[in-house]
Every structure is written in C-alpha cells, then in structure tokens.
Amino acid sequence: MTPAQPADRDAIVEFLSRHVLNSMFPLSNLMRHGMETGHPHATRFWMIRRAGRITDVIGLTGSGMVLPQCPSEPWQAARRTLRGTRVTGIVGPADQVRPLSEALGLSRHKMLISADEPQYVLDLERLVIPSGPGWLIPAGKAQLPVLLDWRAAYQMETLGHGAEAAKADAASTVSGWIDERSHMILTDGKDLLALTGINASAMSVVQVGGVYTPPALRRRGHARRAVALHLAQLRDAGRADRATLFAASEAAARAYMAIGFHHIGTFTISLLEEPAHV
C-alpha cells in the first residue's frame, strides 16, 4: 500500500463515495478535516491502485483509529503498512474489521469493546415521524450539565468506559457538538427527554450517532421521535436524502425500524483499553 498525497484526495473521495454507507467515518473525516491538519479526526490514508484506479484504502485518524475500506482484502499488505503504528481501535464493515484485526494482532490486546452492530439505512422520503410529546432544540451551553452527564453515561453503557475516562471524553465530545451544532435535544418544555445527533455526513448521507435517552425515560418512544424529527429537519433543509446508523441493542433496532430504517449489514466497533503499537 502506498501513502496518499494531497493530490490523491479527490480520487480517494470518489472511491469512498462508491462505498458511502460503510465509509462515512473516513469520507466525512477527509472532507471536513483533511489528511494532516492536527485535528484528532484528520485522517492519513494508504491505498492500492490497480490499472490506475483505487481498489482499497486504509485510513488512520490523528487519534489512532483505523478505518478500512478494503474490498479486495489485502490484509497482509495492510499489516506491513501499519507496522509500528499507534492504534486506539478499528471500526468499519464487520467482514473487513475482523480479519484486519487478526492481521494486526489486536486480539492480543485488551478491548474496551469489540461489538458487531447491525447497520441500517433509510431513504428520507420514507421517513416516518411518530406521534408523541416534544420538539427539538439545539444542544447548547444552556444544557451543558445534562449533556455532560448523558454523554458520560452513554460512554459507560455503550462503549465500556470507566467513570473517569467517560467524564473526560464527555467534556471534549460535548464541546465539539456545541461548536458544530451537530446534536439536538427532544424536550416537552419541562424536561429534556432524549438526545440525537449526526456523527458523520457526506454526499447527501448523514450518519446518526450518540442517541441517548436517560433510563428513567426509556420505552416511551422519545429516542425514535428525536431521531425522526432531526432527520426531517435535515431532509427539508436539503442537507440529506439518506441516513444510516448502527443499533447497539435490540430495543434500539426496533425503534429505528419503526421510523423506516431497514437492515443492510453489520458494522464492527473495536476499541482498545490502551493504545497499542501494532
């Protein structure tokens, strides 16, 4: 695999766009943060070309996350390419992440989480908005204490972080949400009911992430209503015509299917307890 140069950007975008639904993280990172900007999501790339066309790409973010889009399964080439690299995790299509993890030797390291999650997609013309209480407000500084608590709880429940690590992540993550205006809160005017957001966007596709309802308010349809209202806003503003997401539980999957999402595959999220050099 050869290192990508700035002149390769457009070719990489074109390649990833052909696999857009399971390339949202590398594609969004490249389009928003570039290759070498110092941002934690800025992503370096290595690629394989055959007959002048890119066939495989691996990304590595500034924070150490490996992002494969490798249809031809060049796992040994990937291992040689990433040898000695500091890695914090790997996310992508399950049929790529699992063999690449083995090639990199990540199974020797302790994991915070290594989960296969069903992936769903929705054509936003088919979006169903469920009835129920509440409307959306932007996640902002006025809600900061609640957002920090919710994010820390999400990190511990969904990604296996300890309390201190979850609090540290929440501070930086929520700050980013507020700056980027990426997340929305469902409220009934009295209480904050649920959180929804977008963690990647490219080519008129948005990827939903960070959806959270506090335990005392679950099983009332708040999360599905929050997600649906947010996607309707983006659709009506001309900012998206498709959406994709991953379901961390059967309850979440049922909620997403209720607003029109259908299953298309499996996405794997593997996060190391501690960074490792592979």
Per-residue pLDDT, 162: 87
Task: Kindly state whether residues 66 and 133 are assigned to the same domain.
Answer: no
Q: What residues are paired with 91 via a beta bridge?
A: 269
The backbone torsions φ and ψ at residue 246, rounded to the nearest 5 degrees and listed phi first, read -125, 145
Task: Kindly state whether residues 138 and 13 are assigned to the same domain.
Answer: no
Q: Cβ distance 119 to 244 under 8 Å?
A: yes
Q: 135-138 and 183-187: which strand pairing?
A: antiparallel
Per-residue pLDDT, 161: 84
How many structural domains compose the chain? 2
Q: pLDDT at residue 159 above 90? A: no
- The pLDDT of 84-112, averaged and rounded, is 95
In a domain, 147, yes or no: yes
Task: Kindly state whether residues 98 and 175 are assigned to the same domain.
Answer: no
In a domain, 189, yes or no: yes
The Cα 147–Cα 40 span in angstroms is: 21
- The pLDDT of 227-236, averaged and rounded, is 98
- The pLDDT of 174-188, averaged and rounded, is 95
Per-residue pLDDT, 272: 95
In a domain, 118, yes or no: no
Q: 135-138 and 111-123: which strand pairing?
A: unpaired
**What pLDDT digit, counting tens, does each position of 103-137 carry?**
999 989 999 999 999 999 999 999 999 999 999 99
The backbone torsions φ and ψ at residue 183, rounded to the nearest 5 degrees and listed phi first, read -120, 150
In the chain, the percentage of residues whose pLDDT exceeds 90 is 95
In a domain, 275, yes or no: no
Task: Kindly state whether residues 70 and 148 are assigned to the same domain.
Answer: no
In a domain, 114, yes or no: no
Per-residue pLDDT, 160: 82
Task: Kindly state whether residues 219 and 242 are assigned to the same domain.
Answer: yes
Per-residue pLDDT, 142: 93
Domain boundary among 108, 142, 172: 108
Per-residue pLDDT, 38: 85
In the chain, the percentage of residues whose pLDDT exceeds 70 is 100
Task: Kindly state whether residues 260 and 130 are assigned to the same domain.
Answer: yes
Task: Kindly state whether residues 139 and 181 are assigned to the same domain.
Answer: yes
Domain extent for 72: 2-108
Domain boundary among 78, 108, 138: 108
Amino acid at residue number 215: P
Q: Cβ distance 173 to 158 under 8 Å?
A: no
In a domain, 270, yes or no: no
Q: pLDDT at residue 225 above 90? A: yes
Q: pLDDT at residue 37 above 90? A: no
Task: Kindly state whether residues 91 and 195 are assigned to the same domain.
Answer: no
Task: Kindly state whether residues 74 and 157 are assigned to the same domain.
Answer: no
The backbone torsions φ and ψ at residue 191, rounded to the nearest 5 degrees and listed phi first, read -125, 155
In a domain, 274, yes or no: no
Q: What residues are paired with 122 via a beta bridge?
A: 243
In a domain, 71, yes or no: yes
Q: 86-93 and 65-69: which strand pairing?
A: parallel
DSSP 125: G
- The pLDDT of 187-192, averaged and rounded, is 96
User: What pLDDT band is residue 146 in, cutting at 50, 70 and 90?
Assistant: very high
Task: Kindly state whether residues 88 and 133 are assigned to the same domain.
Answer: no
* Other CB atoms within 10 A of residue 148 CB: 17
Task: Kindly state whether residues 91 and 168 are assigned to the same domain.
Answer: no
The backbone torsions φ and ψ at residue 209, rounded to the nearest 5 degrees and listed phi first, read -155, 160
Task: Kindly state whether residues 153 and 257 are assigned to the same domain.
Answer: yes
User: What pLDDT band is residue 89 in, cutting at 50, 70 and 90?
Assistant: very high
pTM: 0.94
Q: Cβ distance 117 to 256 under 8 Å?
A: no
Higher pLDDT, 245 or 248: 245
The Cα 113–Cα 107 span in angstroms is: 12
CATH number at residue 177: 3.40.630.30
- The pLDDT of 236-256, averaged and rounded, is 96
Write the CA distances from 236 to 24, 124, 209, 253, integer angstroms. Answer: 21, 10, 20, 25
